[in-house]
Chains A and B, each alone.
Chain A
Amino acid sequence: MRGDRSLYILFFLGCALTGVLILYPAYYAVQLSFFDADSFISTPVWVGLENYKTVLADSEFWSALIRGIIFAGTAICLQILLGIGFALILDSAIPGKIILRGITVLPYLLPTVVVALIFQWMLDDHIGILTVLLENLGFEEAATWANSPFWSMVLVIFVSVWLWTPFVTVCFLAGLQSVPEEMYEAARVDGANAWQRFWHITLPQLRPVLLVVVLLRAIWMFNKFDIVWLLTGGGPMHGTEHLPILAYRKAFDAFDVGIGATISTISFLILTIAILLFFWRFPIDERK
């Protein structure tokens, strides 16, 4: 067909641009890991796989990896649970649904730097409203969260959940609309209660949505840099330092760009393997 050609052209143009803009930088990042360089402008020295050996032997790397998994894993679980919960509530018959839906999605619209500032202000030592609240409720240690790696991690997870749960909520809410009402009716007739209906009908029906959402959130949370950096800078005492922050520190603080690139590449490989395993275990029918 005639029109096909212009479409093909646009398509290939798009792919070419994408290739240059996405693949080249990725290639650059990976090849940097085979060099030793003090900074981005230093003359790089080829070291082959030395950087990889160094990084994999460094306990800092493994600690950061584990912290990253804890951070991403906990955040994702909470996001999913909370997201589904909110979606269910928003789907039921309650007054002011539309406004409530809007308010629930609100956090997602805020820029990360704004959210970091707001929470820092609310947790200010002297007159942060949350600080005062925590102190009055007797949670002294939480109020001085900055001194504790544990509470700092809690904070970072909490803010991540606050920010990004709406994504899950919205996806689920829409998914819920598509579940045929008849299935619920049939189940009610059979005597199933609300929980059983949810577990045996809603969840299986929403399986594709769930898988996609988990996948996307996993990639994003594992690589999340901004929010952790802005809130805690990876501290205290490396308490919230995960792979992206470790890579950043190595590249920009420790004058070791090659190592920074190595950590990023390893992180990327880990993610790729995890995703492949994910698809193998939970194949999504319509993909590829």
Chain B
Amino acid sequence: MSEKDKKGSKSENIGITEKEISRRKILQGMGAVAGTAALSLHAPYIHAKQKEIRFLNGEPSVQSVRAMRFAAAQYEKETGIKVQMDTVPAGKAFEKVQTSIKGGRPYDIATLIFVGDVLLLAGENKLVPLNDIIKKYDWGPNILFPMDGNNYWYPYDYNLCWINYRMDLYEKAGLKEPQTWDQLNENMTALMGDGENKTKQGIVHPIASSGATNYTSFGYLWANGVSLLDDDWNVVLDDEKNLGRTVEYLEHFQSMVPMMPPGLAKAGWGILVGGIQNGQLSHCPGTGRLIDVINVKNSELASNLGIFPFPSPDGSNVALNHGYDGWVVLDTAMSDEALRFMEWFSDEHLINFLHTSPVHYQPTRMDIYEDARWLSHPDIEKFSHITSWQKRFLTDENVIIKSIDTEGPYPDMRAGKIFRSYALPEMLQNKVLKGMPADECVKIAADKMREVIAG
């Protein structure tokens, strides 16, 4: 309203100001600035009169933003309370939350993607417990992260990372889903080449010091039964049990490198999507996001994508890399209203939101898997071969679901510090780029983790 008026008059002044700068215009400009200042000083006062909940959304894709805005509009219609939706890329959300708190205008609800960030805020008493809402539902494994018996966050999806593959190419070559590391390599080799139904490379696993690497490159490590920490928060990556297995993992990774595209050190999410989309790769790690995105531009290719979890050397285990997103309610003047909104959203609109990226937003609440509303989406039906896997992952005890930031006996910031120290990606870099001996790489990584935890 007032914003639009301001912009209108400004556009007219712009034309004149640029062309003839003179004393008169400078004074006029000063007047305009003063006027703008007066207007914007008013703006917060105007807003203060209407009740408003500020929501920091971390899903910037078009459909998701639309769903959130739609929910906000609905809520305002029903209750008269405005819900202001701001959107940032998920990775920037925590920065924004910090800035907003520090600046004295904290968000009322915010998206967070690391349990470490939730812990930090909870530890500083910035969050409001959500126990009442959480109690209402049946949740999947390893997703709630309670602290001191309280639940401070509402997880809205699993983003499990698995390996995607071209089902059509497998069929044409008569291949079966690999159960062991050797089988995976064999399949990739069989599909590599220049002809039709062949791909240029087999797979890509980033090794840069980034979140993408942390999520997509260590599934094999988990499948091999490795743990980073013991129950007393000691780093055990290089102890008797784990050292050998980690070395095996590194050697396996090295064996896959010839089948990967060059430029691993800068590979990010874009290369994963691009590689599969252009038919350059026969496999690639990823979450459901990959499939949802490809489905938009190339529906046929998407239906040719299948998934399997990360195999282990001998086929005895499978693993997935853990991923998740959720919302927290901050301790502000509008906390009560925010809680009410969360409950309303949780009942009425969560499924709409989940549908905006149907394979990627894997439900965290077990009731949704039976909910007719969720099941009736055409893409859920189309990708039922994947969504049935997804439910199995949560209920099958033989599936290992692990991630760097959830290691340790209980949720704690130390795991988050290890995540962001990028000690494990550096381990990969040392092996692949510097060619250092595997056990040395492991020892360096373990020492770095110890350093980071101690600090």
Question: Taking the complex as a whole, does A directly touch B, i.e. does some CB pair lie under 8 Å apart?
Answer: yes
Contacts of A119 in B (CB 8 A): none
Contacts A125-B271, A254-B452 given: A236-B266 contact, CB under 8 Å?
A: yes
CB nearest neighbor in A for B200? A126
Candidates B101, B210, B426; contact of A237 at CB < 8 Å: B426
Chain B 259-291 interface residues, beta-carbon cutoff 8 Å to A? 261-267, 271, 274, 278, 280
CB nearest neighbor in A for B452? A254
A40 CA / B234 CA spacing, docked (Å): 28
Tell me, rounded to whole Å, the shortest Cβ–Cβ distance linking A132 to chain B.
Answer: 13
Contacts of B263 in A (CB 8 A): 125, 144, 146-147
Candidates B120, B262, B416, B452; contact of A125 at CB < 8 Å: B262
Tell me, rounded to whole Å, the shortest Cβ–Cβ distance linking B348 to chain A.
Answer: 32
Contact with B along A239-254 (1 / 0, CB 8 A): 0000000000000111
Chain B 322-342 interface residues, beta-carbon cutoff 8 Å to A? none
> Does the CB pair B102–A40 fall under 8 Å?
yes
Chain A interface size range: 20 to 34
Contacts of B120 in A (CB 8 A): 38-39, 42, 255
Contacts A254-B420, A255-B413, A255-B416 given: A147-B264 contact, CB under 8 Å?
A: yes
> Does the CB pair A147–B433 fall under 8 Å?
yes
Contacts of B101 in A (CB 8 A): 40-41
Contact with B along A248-277 (1 / 0, CB 8 A): 000011111000000000000000000000
Let me know if B417 is at the binding interface, CB within 8 A. yes
CB nearest neighbor in A for B274? A126
> Does the CB pair A147–B262 fall under 8 Å?
yes
Candidates A40, A42, A147, A256; contact of B99 at CB < 8 Å: A40
Candidates A43, A125, A147, A253; contact of B124 at CB < 8 Å: A43
Contacts A40-B102, A236-B433 given: A255-B417 contact, CB under 8 Å?
A: yes
Tell me, rounded to whole Å, the shortest Cβ–Cβ distance linking B320 to chain A.
Answer: 25
Contact with B along A216-239 (1 / 0, CB 8 A): 000000000000000011111100
A40 CA / B101 CA spacing, docked (Å): 9
> Does the CB pair B98–A41 fall under 8 Å?
yes
> Does the CB pair A254–B209 fall under 8 Å?
no
Contacts of A43 in B (CB 8 A): 124
> Does the CB pair B209–A235 fall under 8 Å?
yes
> Does the CB pair B210–A233 fall under 8 Å?
yes
Contacts of A255 in B (CB 8 A): 116, 120, 413, 416-417, 420
> Does the CB pair B95–A125 fall under 8 Å?
no
Chain B 411-426 interface residues, beta-carbon cutoff 8 Å to A? 413, 416-417, 420-421, 426
CB nearest neighbor in B for A144? B262
> Does the CB pair A38–B413 fall under 8 Å?
yes
> Does the CB pair A41–B429 fall under 8 Å?
no
Let me know if B126 is at the binding interface, CB within 8 A. yes
> Does the CB pair A146–B413 fall under 8 Å?
no
CB nearest neighbor in B for A231? B266
CB nearest neighbor in B for A236? B265
Let me know if B409 is at the binding interface, CB within 8 A. no
Chain B interface size range: 35 or more
> Does the CB pair B266–A42 fall under 8 Å?
no
Let me know if B191 is at the binding interface, CB within 8 A. no
> Does the CB pair A40–B416 fall under 8 Å?
no
A30 CA / B242 CA spacing, docked (Å): 44
Candidates A41, A233, A237, A254; contact of B417 at CB < 8 Å: A254
Chain B 231-278 interface residues, beta-carbon cutoff 8 Å to A? 261-267, 271, 274, 278
Contacts A39-B98, A41-B98, A126-B278 given: A146-B416 contact, CB under 8 Å?
A: no
> Does the CB pair B208–A253 fall under 8 Å?
no
Tell me, rounded to whole Å, the shortest Cβ–Cβ distance linking B375 to chain A.
Answer: 39
CB nearest neighbor in A for B268? A233
Tell me, rounded to whole Å, the shortest Cβ–Cβ distance linking B253 to chain A.
Answer: 15
Let me know if B8 is at the binding interface, CB within 8 A. no
Contacts A41-B101, A236-B266, A237-B429 given: A126-B417 contact, CB under 8 Å?
A: no
Let me know if B293 is at the binding interface, CB within 8 A. no
Contacts A147-B263, A255-B120 given: A41-B426 contact, CB under 8 Å?
A: no
Let me know if B121 is at the binding interface, CB within 8 A. yes
Contacts of A237 in B (CB 8 A): 209, 265, 426, 429-430, 433-434
A38 CA / B426 CA spacing, docked (Å): 23
Let me know if B455 is at the binding interface, CB within 8 A. yes
A253 CA / B265 CA spacing, docked (Å): 19
Candidates A38, A143, A146; contact of B266 at CB < 8 Å: A146
Contacts A41-B126, A147-B433, A254-B420 given: A232-B266 contact, CB under 8 Å?
A: yes
Q: Specify which of A42, A236, A256 lies most central, judged by the most chain B CB atoms within 10 Å of its CB.
A: A236
CB nearest neighbor in A for B278? A126
Contacts of A236 in B (CB 8 A): 208-209, 265-266, 429, 433
Provide a sorted-by-A list of 15 A–B residue pairs whose CB atoms are within 8 angstroms: A39-B120, A41-B102, A42-B124, A126-B278, A126-B280, A144-B263, A147-B262, A147-B265, A233-B210, A235-B209, A236-B429, A236-B433, A237-B429, A254-B421, A255-B420
Task: Report B's interface with A, CB cutoff 8 A.
Answer: 95, 98-99, 101-102, 116, 120-121, 123-124, 126, 208-210, 261-267, 271, 274, 278, 280, 413, 416-417, 420-421, 426, 429-430, 433-434, 452, 455
Q: Beyond A41-B101, A125-B271, A236-B208, list 20 extra A-B contacts (CB 8 Å).
A: A40-B98, A40-B99, A40-B101, A41-B102, A41-B126, A42-B120, A125-B262, A126-B261, A126-B274, A126-B280, A147-B265, A234-B209, A235-B208, A236-B433, A237-B434, A252-B95, A254-B420, A254-B421, A254-B452, A255-B416
7 closest A-B pairs (Cβ-Cβ)? A146-B266, A236-B265, A253-B420, A144-B262, A146-B265, A125-B263, A147-B265
